[in-house]
Structure 1
Amino acid sequence: MAAPAMPPPDDLRRAVDAVLPDARRDLEALVRIPSIWADPAHAEDTRRSADAVATLAREAGAADVSILAAAGGAPAVVAHWPAQSDDPARPAPTVMLYAHHDVQPTGGDDLWTTPPFEPHERDGRLHGRGAADDKAGVMTHLATLRAFGGRPPVGVTLFVEGEEESGSPTLPALLAEHRDALAADVIVIADAANPAVDVPALTTSLRGLTNVVVEVSMLERAVHSGMLGGPAGDALTALCRLLATLHDDKGEVAVAGLVAGSASNSDTAPDVEEETFRGDAGLLDDVELIGTGTITERLTRKPAIAVLGIDAPAVDGSANVLLPRARAMISVRLAPGDVTADAFAALREHLTHHVPWGAHLEVTLAASGEPFALEPTGSVYDLARAALSAAFEHTAIEVGMGGTVPFIAEFARTFPGATVLVTGVGDPASRWHGVDESLHLGMFARCVLAETMLLRSLAEHGQS
C-alpha cells in the first residue's frame, strides 16, 4: 500500500504548534539532569531523570506508569495509553514509542561553549548534553501524545530506557521479564539521525560494535632505559607497532575476515560530499580522509577501527624507564552482515599474528553489539514515508547509519511480528557524544508533526 504524501492536516499542525513551547521547556528541564548512568557518581541523577520522565508521562494522560529495572540495571520508564477503537472487531494497533533518558559523559565541561547541563539556544539550536541524544526522542514522543490530548488514536506503550549509552546490558532481561507489557505491532525508535535538518530519513541499517582491551607484556618490572634499553624492548613501543598493523597505508582496515557489506536495495541516500563531511567531522586543513570507496560506503557498509585509549604514563612526569606492560582499547565498527563473535575471533587472530618481538599478549572482549539491517517494505513503512515527507516537505529517504544501536536487534528478536521504524531526532551538526551537542529546534518540530501523522495514519489503516 503506497500512501501519498499529503499536506499535514490543519488540526494536527495546530495541535503540534500548541504543545511545542511546553515540550521545549520540559526538554530543557530534562537536559539539566546529568543522567550519566555509565558514571556511578550519577546513578542518583539517572534515577531522578527516570522520575521526571514518569511524571511527564502521567501528565500526558498515561493510564499507568511504571519505573522498571532488571538486576543491576538502570531505571526504565514504561507507560501505557490503551487503544481507542469505535469497532471492537477492528482494534487499533499498538505502537511502542522508544527513546532513552541516559546520556554520555561530557568529555570535559571546560571544553563546552556553554555548560553542558545548562541548555542554551544559539542560531536555532538548543545546546546541551542529551538535547539531541536522546532526550529529544523522549520529548518527541511525549509532545506527540500531548498533541492528541493524551488520547492517541492507537494504543501506545512508551518505553524510555536508562542505559542505552552503556550498551543496554540488562535490556534482554528486562524485555524477557516484561515482554507482555511491551508487546506492540509497531516499534518507533527515535534514536537515529537525519542527513540534514530538512531531509527526513528512516534508518535501515546500523553497524555493529566489538570493543577489545589489548595488553602487551615485555618485562617483569620497569627497568632503566639507558642501562638495559637496546637489547630489551618496552611494552609501549611494542603496543604502538601492533596497533599500526590494523590499517594499511591508505587507512583501509587490514584485519582479514571482517565483512565489508554492499549497498542495501532500500538505501536511497545520496553520497556525502567531502566538503560537507569534513565540516561535520571537524577535520583540520590538509588532513586526508582514510580508506577507499565513497564516503557513504566507508561510513555505513565497511568496518572501521579506532584506538579509543591507551594506558601509558603522561608525558609530564614520565621517567627514563622501559615499561613492562601497556594496554589499549580498540573499537571495531562492523558492517551489516558481520557477527560480533566472528569479528572478535578475526581481530584476536590478527593481533596474535602481528604482535612483535615475542611479546606476551592478552586480548579481552570489553563490549559488543550486533549490526542490524532490515528491508523497509510494507504498509507501515509506506505510511511512515508519507508522514515524514509531508511533515518535512521533502521526500523521505532510507539510509544506513555508521553508529551502533545494539538494542534494535534485541527488539527484533523479542518481537518478531512487529514492524521496526528507526527515525531521526538529530542531524550531522548535532555532535552526538561530542562537545557542544545540540538539537535543531525546527527539525524537532517537524519530527513531532511527522509522528502525530504516523499515529493517525496507523489508526486509520489498522481499522480499514
Structure 2
Amino acid sequence: MNTVEELKQNVDAGTSEQIDLLSRIVAIPSVGSDPAHAGDLERSAEFVCEQFGELGFDARVERGEISPGVLGAPAVIATSETIPGRPTVLLYAHHDVQPVDASRWDSDPFTAEVRGDRLYGRGASDDGAGIVVHIGALRALQQLSAELPVNVVVFIEGEEEVGSPSFQNFLQQNRDVLRADVIVVADSNNWTVDVPAVTASLRGVVTLDVEVQVLGHAVHSGMFGGPILDAVTLSSRLISTLHDEDGNVAVEGLGGNPRAEVDWDEGDFRRDSSVIDGYSLAGTADLAARVWTMPAIAVIGIDATSVADSANAIIPRCRFRLSVRTVPGTDSAEVAQAVEQHLVSHAPFGCRVTTSIEETGPSYLADLESKGVSDLRWALTTAWDEDAVAIGVGGSIPFIAQFEEAFPNAEVLVTGVEDPATNAHSENESQSLKTLKNATLAEALLLERLGSR
C-alpha cells in the first residue's frame, strides 16, 4: 500500500473521532467580542491545548500584549519534537467565534447537529474545523510513522474575529518558537464542496472619510437656492465620479486583473448576495475577478441632515465614509493617496473637499509558480480527486501580511474548510463533513510532501 492510500485509510478511520471533537469545540461559546464570554474563551483555549498535548506536543496557552500591560485573548502554541534537518511548518487556525442571534438559527448554535452531510453550529467551520483538520492530519501521520515528516509548530489564535489586536506583538514575543519555513493558514474557502481551492489572493482595504463643504452655515433654500447646490447633491456628484458608466472603478492607478481562473455563475452570485431582481451587475471584468482581483469602492456611511430634522435650508456640509478594496499586490497606502487625489481634483463646482484616511490594510498575492503552492495544489487535487483551482477572496486577512513581515523567508499557504453554503458569521453556520475529511487528508499529504523535500 502506498503512502497516499495509507493516509486515506487513517483519515477515514478517524472520521467519527473528528466529528466528536468538532462537536465538543462547538459546545464552547468562545465569542471573542463579548466580555461575558471571557471565561468561555479561556476554556476553549485550554481545551484546544489539551488536544495537542494528547498528540505528544509541548502545548501551552499564551497571551500577547495589545499595549503595555494590556493582554490579548488566550492563544495556543504547541510544538512537536524537533528533528534536525527537517523543515518546520507552522499550522494556523483560531478558536474564537462570532456572536449569535439564536432566534435566527434552526437549532441551538452551541449544540452541534448533523443534518445530512453537514454539521451545524457556531464555529463549526470558522474556524473549529481548521483546528480539527490540523489535529486529524497529525494523527493520521503519527499512525503512519512514529516521527512526523516535518517539525510542526501550531498557533491557534484567540482573537481573529475581533481584528487580532495582539497578533503582531504575539509574533514578536514568540518569534523563536513560531519561526517556520512554511506557514499553513486554514481559515479560507474552497470553490465548492466538490472542488478544492488554493487562496491565491486577498484584496487589501482602505477606509477613507470625506467631507464636502459649500457654505459656512446653512442658508434659506428659497432665498439662496439655485446658484448654490447643497452639500449632499455635491457629495453625490463627487461620489458618481468614482465609477464609469459600466460601474468600473474610474480612479486612475488602482490596477487590477480582469480575468479569473474560475467561472462564477451569475445566478449563484445574485442568489448569495440577495441582489434585487432587475439590478444589472456593475463592471465588465470576469465576475469572479470583479470580487477578487479588481478594485472596488463603496459608500459605507454618510452624515447629513436627517429627514426628521430637515428644514427649508441648504445643507452646508456633508460627510461620508468610503471603503476601498485594493487589488492584490498593490500598496494600500498608495491607493489611499490616489483616491484622495481623485476626490480633491474632482470637487464639483469648486466646493471644498477634505479627506482623512482612517484605515489601511494590506493585500495578499501568492506566487502560483512557487514550490509550496504546487505542493498544496497536488495535495488538494489528490485528496478530492478533483483538480484544485486558484481563487481569491474579496475581503482582507491582515494577519497574513503580519506573518510575511515577521517571517520574510517563510512561504505562506492559504487554504480552508469553508464552501459557499458555510454561512460563516451568519445564522446556521455549518461544515461540510466531506470537506472536513478531504481537507484533513490534503493537509496530511502536504506535510508528507513538504517533509520529502
State TM-score, norm by structure 1.
Answer: 0.83
Shift of 1:169: 4.8
Shift of 1:229: 5.0
Q: Which amino acid aligns with 1:21?
A: I
Q: Which of 298, 302, 309 lines up with 2:301 in the alignment? A: 309
Indicate the SS of the match to 2:245. Answer: coil
Q: Which of 206, 210, 213 lines up with 1:214 in the alignment? A: 210
CA contact (8 A) 1:372 1:408 kept: yes
Aligned-pair identity (%): 38
Aligned partners of 2:220 and 2:109: how far apart in 1?
44
CA gap 1:295/1:431 in 2 versus in 1, 3 angstroms:
same
Q: Which amino acid aligns with 1:355?
A: A
Shift of 1:159: 1.4
Shift of 1:102: 4.1
In structure 2, what is the equivalent of residue 350 of structure 1? 342
Aligned partners of 1:452 and 1:53: how far apart in 2?
24
- 1:33-432 mapped onto 2 (5 Å cutoff): 33-36=30-33, 42-43=34-35, 45=37, 48-61=40-53, 62-72=57-67, 74-83=72-81, 85=83, 91-103=85-97, 124-145=117-138, 153=148, 154-220=150-216, 230=226, 232-261=228-257, 269-312=261-304, 315=307, 317-320=308-311, 322-377=314-369, 379-432=371-424
CA gap 1:449/1:23 in 2 versus in 1, 3 angstroms:
farther
CA gap 1:13/1:121 in 2 versus in 1, 3 angstroms:
closer
Aligned partners of 1:109 and 1:323: how far apart in 2?
42
CA contact (8 A) 1:16 1:448 kept: no
In structure 1, what is the equivalent of residue 10 of structure 2? 12
Shift of 1:158: 1.7
CA contact (8 A) 2:7 2:140 kept: no
CA gap 1:295/1:126 in 2 versus in 1, 3 angstroms:
same
1:409-462 deviation line (CA, Å, top 9, x unaligned): 221232222222110221123344455543323212321232233334434x15
How many correspondences in the alignment? 442
Shift of 1:352: 1.0
Q: Which amino acid aligns with 2:17?
A: V
Shift of 1:174: 2.6
CA contact (8 A) 2:258 2:293 kept: yes
Which stretch shows the higher mean deviation, 116-125 or 246-255?
116-125
Which stretch shows the higher mean deviation, 232-241 or 442-451?
232-241
CA gap 1:214/1:438 in 2 versus in 1, 3 angstroms:
farther
In structure 2, what is the equivalent of residue 39 of structure 1? none
Which stretch shows the higher mean deviation, 67-76 or 174-183?
67-76
Structure 2: state its 5+ residue gaps.
Answer: none
CA contact (8 A) 2:187 2:417 kept: yes
CA contact (8 A) 2:31 2:98 kept: no
Shift of 1:257: 1.7
Aligned partners of 1:119 and 1:322: how far apart in 2?
56
Aligned partners of 2:3 and 2:249: how far apart in 1?
42
1:31-78 deviation line (CA, Å, top 9, x unaligned): x33222xxxxx2453574254123222233141313222234632513
Q: Which amino acid aligns with 1:67?
A: E
CA contact (8 A) 1:205 1:371 kept: yes
1:347-398 deviation line (CA, Å, top 9, x unaligned): 0011112233444333222222222222244554444333322322212222
In structure 1, what is the equivalent of residue 438 of structure 2? 446
Aligned-residue CA RMSD (Å) = 3.3
Structure 1: state its 5+ residue gaps.
Answer: 37-41
CA contact (8 A) 2:102 2:109 kept: yes
CA contact (8 A) 2:213 2:352 kept: yes
1:154-183 deviation line (CA, Å, top 9, x unaligned): 332221234434544543333223211211
CA gap 1:232/1:65 in 2 versus in 1, 3 angstroms:
same
Aligned partners of 1:246 and 1:163: how far apart in 2?
35
1:220-248 deviation line (CA, Å, top 9, x unaligned): 55666566655554433332332222111
